[in-house]
Amino acid sequence: MSASVEDVANAMYEMVKEYHGKKNLKALDLTKAMIQKFGEDQVDKKLCKQAIRQLIDSGKCTYSYVGGSYIVLPPES
């Protein structure tokens, strides 16, 4: 049984929250971390891409373009 998009998206969100203000995470950083966390047999790049899209579309995370493309928490309003 492989991990669901929801599981991976939640784990990515927790990671982005944990590193918020300390380190900017690229999509590749998150993908590598999720493959390491869940295992290659559970998660692939396509699933990670879907999870990232879900985070962006839901507004939980946003892209930041500061010398590269990073996934960050949305700015506080």
Going residue by residue through the chain (77 aa), what tens digit of pLDDT does each one get?
A: 578 999 999 999 999 999 999 999 999 999 999 999 999 999 999 999 999 999 999 999 999 998 889 999 998 74
Instruction: Give a yes or no: residue 9 inside a domain.
Output: yes
Distance CA 30, CA 52 (A): 9
Instruction: Give a yes or no: residue 23 inside a domain.
Output: yes
The CATH code of the domain that includes 26 is 1.10.10.10
Burial per residue of 15-47, b for 16 or more beta-carbon CB atoms within 10 angstroms, e otherwise? bbeeeeeeebbebebbbebbbeebeeebbeeeb
Dihedral Cα 42, 27, 18, 37, nearest 10 deg: 20
Helices (H), 1-77: 5-19, 27-38, 45-58
Q: Which structural domain range is residue 16 located in?
A: 5-72
Instruction: Give a yes or no: residue 77 inside a domain.
Output: no
